[in-house]
Amino acid sequence: MRTLQERVHGAPPPEHWNLDKLHRVLRVRKGFKNEGMQEENLLSLSYGNIIRKDLNATDGLLPESFETYQIVEAGNIVMRLTDLQNDKRSLRQGLVTERGIITSAYDALEVAPDNDPRFWAYALLALDLAKYYYSLGGGVRQSIKFADFPNDWVQRPDRDTQRAIADFLDRETARIDQLVAKKQRMAGLLGEKLDRTVRSYVSGEADYPADEQRRATGIGYLTTVPKHWSVEKIGWRYEIQLGKMLDGAKQTGQNLRRYLRVADVQWGKINTIDLPVMDFSASDRKRFRLLPGDLLVNEGGSYVGRSAVWRSTEREVYYQKALHRVRPRQSKRDTADFLYYLMWFATKYGVFIAGGNQTTIDHLTAEAFSRYRFAFPTLEEQFEISERLQSEEAKHTNISAKVNASIASLREFRAALITAAVTGQLDISGHARKGDTDRRLDAIEAEMRA
């Protein structure tokens, strides 16, 4: 007889652990509909924690009534398996620490007496129930209820052991979470530093900081510039051409050519693998073909202004509507490499906002785009600034990769630690005395500093 833990992790239960049925240990609460509790008692699932909802947050409107909400008690485990086709982290759950109400879209689980709820909250994280469900041939579904899972046998240590494991994991995961938060803040600060560097160069403050070297522009987002720089509309110096609209009804299949979509154009890089195709007539090919040195700029959605320079000399590639191709009118006066960093500055510092309300505009039309004014140095200075910023961007990318790899290592270690503890493969008393956890974390820290 194999337990659920064995099926998922291949880990045999310790001899002194008991066996029990999953649905005897964890039961879905029923009949606890809300009666009288209002928004001040509203709980929310946030990053694996059940917290009191911030009523001042702007993450959605409150419902007119809470009658359909359910009451949960401290010690309940709230979970939902949803969007299973698209989200690898599909198990959303948290341990309730105070009485309140929460949407009935979640399953609220009661933990049987003589069990520690914290232990079973960790155990559910380790079990990856969505993956297990599909391994049983459950088929593709958008969401699953806890009641859908077979009533398999589970490994159940006594309550004292559960409490000891939960105490250990509370302590160790808190340390790991603090390190992750620290590194995430570090990544954010690195990004902010690079943004400031870009701004200082494209505004000329890095090379011409003195007041006597600068003049006023009357532009809110670019108040002063070096005296010898030209302040002009983008449209005066660059040709802006929106891409071709995809129209399935007009596709003949006779002039198929590869083209770029919005998703293919990320900051500073362009995907050219497995591109889709559509018809481009002779006139289309003349109008929409990309040439080395063209800047591609996203014109809509959540990524207005995101840009990358097309550099390939060998690939015949075009681009679809929702991307602007921006090309210098005079190659002896401007380079798209410099404009790329102007777009960086514009997006990071809210230049492309609607009506001053700090909301990104829905579409950066060619007409509107061409009217934005920026400062343009000489071509020689544009090349020098671009080279400096490319070097700074490369340094940032290298350091950020190390920070992100460190975060990934910490998260992997956290998941492995939880799994080992809740399946009884880790002697937590000996583990804590030996300081093995400390050495693993120290190794990750040392790798980060390398």
Domain 1-157 and domain 230-376, same fold? Reply is yes
List the alpha helices (DSSP H) in 157-265. 159-202, 234-237
Amino acid of residue 319:
Y
* End-to-end Cα spacing for the chain: 48
Residue 321: other Cβ atoms inside 10 A: 16
Q: Describe the crossing of helices 117-127 and 379-422 by its angle, rounded to 10 degrees.
A: 120
Give the C-alpha separation, 446 to 444, whole Å: 5
Per-residue pLDDT of the chain in tens (450 residues, 90 and over written 9): 688 888 777 778 788 899 999 999 999 988 777 777 777 788 888 777 888 887 766 455 677 778 888 889 999 999 876 655 554 444 578 999 999 888 888 889 999 999 999 999 999 888 877 666 666 655 555 667 888 788 888 889 999 999 999 999 999 999 999 999 999 999 999 999 999 999 999 999 999 999 999 999 989 899 999 999 999 999 999 999 999 987 766 667 788 999 999 999 999 999 999 999 999 999 999 999 999 999 999 998 778 999 999 998 877 999 999 999 999 999 999 999 999 999 999 999 989 875 444 445 578 899 999 999 999 999 999 999 999 999 999 999 999 999 999 999 999 999 999 999 999 888 887 665 555 666 666 676 666 565
State residue 229 phi and psi, 5-degree precision.
Answer: -80, 150
Amino acid of residue 301:
G
In sequence order, which residues have a C-beta less than 8 Å from that of residue 292 and are 6 or more positions away? 310, 311, 312, 313
Of 342, 366, 380, nearest in space to 228 by CA: 380
Phi-psi label, residue 6: left if phi above 0, alpha if psi -120 to 50, beta otherwise = alpha
Element (H, E) at 229: none
In CATH, what number does 230-376 get?
Answer: 3.90.220.20
The confidence score (pLDDT) of residue 65 equals: 78
Integer angstrom CA distances of residue 187 from 184, 194, 197, 337, 422 = 5, 11, 15, 25, 32
Give the C-alpha separation, 398 to 386, whole Å: 18
Element (H, E) at 63: none
The confidence score (pLDDT) of residue 356 equals: 44
The token duo for 115 is: 């069990």
The confidence score (pLDDT) of residue 89 equals: 47
The confidence score (pLDDT) of residue 90 equals: 45
Expressed in percent and rounded to 5, the helix, strand and coil fractions of the chain are 40, 25, 35
Of 211, 224, 127, 120, nearest in space to 166 by CA: 120
What are the structural domain ranges in the chain?
Answer: 1-157, 230-376
The confidence score (pLDDT) of residue 105 equals: 83
| Cβ atoms of 13 and 101 closer than 8 Å | no
Beta strands (DSSP E) in 363-431 are 373-376
The confidence score (pLDDT) of residue 376 equals: 97
Of 131, 125, 124, 130, nearest in space to 154 by CA: 124
Q: Residue 309 in 3-state DSSP? A: strand
Instruction: Say which CATH topology domain 1-157 has.
Output: Adenine-n6-DNA-methyltransferase TaqI; Chain A, domain 2 (3.90.220)
* Matching residue, tokens 């200075």: 381
Amino acid of residue 98:
E
Q: Residue 256 in 3-state DSSP? A: strand
